[in-house]
Amino acid sequence: MTPRQIEAYVDAASAALDLKLRPDHRAGVLRYFALAAELAAVVDAVPLNERDEPALHFSAVVPPEPGA
């Protein structure tokens, strides 16, 4: 998503939810949605076929510390 699309989405979603987004929070919300859009693009880029199934269980793994 482009920055303009993210702003439009945040504005529309906050209006639809009647959520009053404080001006001092706006930059952080836009940053978060930009990050979420990047992560969604990575997941969306993984090709799936008709035999792929959702996992029965997800276990998060803590990434190693840099330089470890």
**Alpha-carbon gap, residue 30 to 26, rounded angstroms:** 6
Residue 49 lies in a domain: no
pLDDT at 64 over 90: no
Q: Which residue range forms the structural domain that includes residue 26?
A: 3-35
Amino acid in position 40: A
Can you give the pLDDT at residue 60? 86
Residue 16 lies in a domain: yes
Residue 29 lies in a domain: yes
- Tell me how many domains the chain contains: 1
Residue 64 lies in a domain: no
DSSP state of 18: T
pLDDT at 17 over 80: yes
What rounded mean pLDDT belongs to the chain? 92
The percent of residues above 90 in pLDDT, for the chain, comes to: 72
**Alpha-carbon gap, residue 25 to 63, rounded angstroms:** 28
Residue-wise DSSP of 21-49? --HHHHHHHHHHHHHHHHHHHHHHTS---
Can you give the pLDDT at residue 66? 86
Region 11-27 average pLDDT: 95
Can you give the pLDDT at residue 7? 96
